[in-house]
Amino acid sequence: MTYLSKNELNLLRDRPNLVVPDESVFELPEKVLQFGTGVLLRGLPDYLIDKANRQGIFNGRIVVVKSTDGGDAAAFDEQDSLYTLCVRGVELCQNVEENIVCSAISRVLSAKSQWQGILDCAKNPELQIIISNTTEVGIQLTQDDISATPPASFPGKLLAFLYARFQAFGGSKASGLVIVPTELITDNGTKLESIVIELAHRNGLESSFLDWLESANHFCNSLVDRIVPGKPDAVTYKGLTEELGYEDKLLTMSEVFRLWAIEGNEHVKQVLSFHKADDGVFVEPDINLFRELKLRLLNGTHTLSSGLAYLAGFDNVIGAMQNETMSAYISNLMMAELGLAIPYPMDEKSPQRFGMQVLDRFRNPHLNHQWLSITLNYTSKMKLRNVPTLLRYYDIFNCVPEYFSLGFAAYLCFMKSVAKERFVYFGERDGQLYPIQDEKAEYFYQQWQQNTPAQLVESVLQNKTLWDTDLTLLPGFAQSVTENVENMIDNGVKSTLEAFFYRNTTPFVEINATL
C-alpha cells in the first residue's frame, strides 16, 4: 500500500467519499505563515483555508513554522505536506463521514535549522496573515533576544519576523499583516500584541518600527472550537487506511462542528476572505457573543451534568446521550434554563441554534468524553460557568431553575469524600472509589463530616468565598437543592434523576435546525 503524496493524487480521484485537491492548488502563492503543526491547526484553520481554496475564494497556501525538530516534520516532507482529515460526527441529527485530502500547507520549515529561510518569507509581498497555536504557555513574556537564530520564545520569533518584514518593505503600511493567534486564552490577540510591543522596547528597536507595528498590523482576538483528537488508535487507523487505500502518517480525526470567531474590522474581514467558504467562521467587531454561548451552553451544561451523569452510572457523554432520561435532562437544562438566561445581550435564536449544535456534538459516537475528566476543578468551573447564569435566571424569572438545582445537588454529592490517600480525596460510586480532583476537596470533606445535608447546603450556598455572593438569598433555591441532595442520599442518584424527570413534565421542544 502506498503513502499519500502528490504523485498519488491522480490515482485517488475516483475514490468514493474522498475529496482530492486539484493540481492547480500547488501553484497558489504562500499567503499565510503559521506557527505550529498541531492537530487543532490542521483540523480547523488549515482545513478552512483548504476548503476556501477548493471553492476559489482565498487562493493561498500556508508556510508552517515548526519550533522543534523531529515529530511529524519528516512526514510533512515525505507526503508533500498533504494530510487526510477524517470528519466524523453528527450534524442536524444526521451522521456525517467525510474524508478530505487537505493541501493548504505548502511546506514546513524548522525554526531551529531553517530560521533564515523563515525570515526570508517576510520578503514575500503576497503574505497577508500569521496564525499561531503554540499552546497557552506560548503567549508569555520572557526576556528574549530577537537577533538569536532563532529567538527562544514564540513572541520573540514573531517580533523578529515582523521586524524583518518592516525592513524588507521600508515600513510600508501596506506590508502590515493580520495576526490571529488561536491559543485558548481570553483576549489572545490583545495579550500577544502587548507582549510583542514590550519585547520591541526591550530589544531597543527604533520608534519608526514601533509606529509601524502598532498602526499597520492587526492583532485579532479569536476563539476556536473544534474537537480534533488527532491520529486515531491503531484499530481505527487500520480500518481507515483500508477504506482510503493509502497510508497517511498525518491522518487526523475531527468532529463535524467547527467554530472560528475572529475579532476584526472590515479590513481584517477582507484579508481573511476564507470566512466566506464556511458558516463556522465569523469575523466580527466583537466575539464575546460566541465566547458566552460556548461558556454557558457547552461548558456550563457539561459542568452541571457531569456529577449527576457520573453518579447515575454513566462514564462518558455519549453513554448519557443514549439514555432517554439523562439525554432529556441535558437537553432541558441547556435549552429550557441555561439558554434563557445567558448573562450577555443576544437575540433569542442564537442560543437555540448554538444549543442544537452542542447537542449534536454530545451525540457524536466517535468522541469519548469522560464525565470524570469534566469534573476536574469542579468548584471553580461551577462558579465561572454557571453561577452568573443562575443569577441572571433569577433576575428574569425569580424562581428556582429545577434542572440547575438537580445538577447542583449532584455536584454536592459528588464532592462527598469517603477516603483520603496522601493529598487526594475519593468519593464512592457503586462501591468503587473515584478521585475528587478539586482544590476545595478538603473543604467539602469537612462540610460533609460536620453537617447534616440541610446544614451543608446552607453553609456551602452562603459561602461568598466560593461564589462571590450568598446563594441562599435566591428564593427557594436552598430548599430545592436540599430536597434533591436528601433524595439522592436516601434513594440513589439514578432513581432521583428518574423521579425528577417524570415529576417535571416541561417538554424539551426540538427546535427547527434552520432557525
**Mean pLDDT on 299-308:** 98
Q: 183 with 134: CB under 8 angstroms?
A: yes
Structural domains in the chain, CATH included, are: 6-284 (3.40.50.720), 295-503 (1.10.1040.10)
- Separation CA 229–CA 224 (nearest Å): 15
In this model, does residue 485 exceed pLDDT 70?
yes
pLDDT reported for residue 236: 93
pLDDT, one tens digit per residue, over 64-104 is 999 876 566 789 999 999 999 999 999 988 999 999 999 99
pLDDT band at 503 (very low <50, low <70, confident <90, very high): confident
pLDDT, one tens digit per residue, over 432-442 is 999 999 999 99
Q: 168 with 119: CB under 8 angstroms?
A: no
**Mean pLDDT on 404-417:** 98
- Separation CA 356–CA 341 (nearest Å): 16
392, with CB counted inside 10 A (0-12, 13-18, 19+), is middle
- Can you give the pTM of this predicted structure? 0.91
**Mean pLDDT on 330-337:** 97
pLDDT reported for residue 513: 39
pLDDT band at 16 (very low <50, low <70, confident <90, very high): confident
**Residue of 212, 429, 398 whose CA lies nearest to 311:** 429
In this model, does residue 282 exceed pLDDT 50?
yes
How many Cα neighbours within 13 Å face the side chain of 339? 24
In this model, does residue 57 exceed pLDDT 70?
yes
pLDDT reported for residue 72: 66
Residue 427: phi and psi, rounded to 5, are -95, 180
In this model, does residue 507 exceed pLDDT 50?
no
Q: 372 with 311: CB under 8 angstroms?
A: no
pLDDT, one tens digit per residue, over 434-484 is 999 999 999 999 999 999 999 999 999 999 999 999 999 999 999 999 999
**Mean pLDDT on 36-51:** 97
pLDDT, one tens digit per residue, over 81-91 is 999 999 999 99
pLDDT band at 510 (very low <50, low <70, confident <90, very high): very low
pLDDT, one tens digit per residue, over 148-161 is 999 999 999 999 99
For 107, the grid coordinates are: 511546506
pLDDT reported for residue 170: 97
Location of C-alpha cell 413534565:
505
